Amino acid sequence: MANLITGCRILCSIIMIFFPAFSVTFYVLYLAGGVTDMVDGLVARKTNTVSKMGSRLDSIADVFFVAVSLFKILPAVDISTWLWIWIAVIAAIKVINILSGFLSQKRFVAEHTIMNKVTGFLLFLLPLTLTVIELNYSGAVVCCIATFAAIQEGHYIRTGKEVE
Confidence label for 105 from pLDDT (cuts 50, 70 and 90): confident
pLDDT-based confidence at 33, cuts 50/70/90? very high
pLDDT tens for 107-156 read 777 777 899 889 999 999 999 999 899 999 999 999 999 999 999 999 99
Q: Which residues are within 8 A (CB) of 73 and not within 5 positions of it... i.e. 6 or more apart?
A: 21, 22, 127
With a cut of 60, say whether residue 56 has pLDDT above it: yes
How many CA atoms does the CB half-sphere of 82 hold within 13 Å?
Answer: 5
Domain ranges in the chain?
Answer: 1-76, 77-164
Threshold 0.85, pTM exceeds: no
- Residue 160 pLDDT: 78
State the pLDDT at residue 161. 73
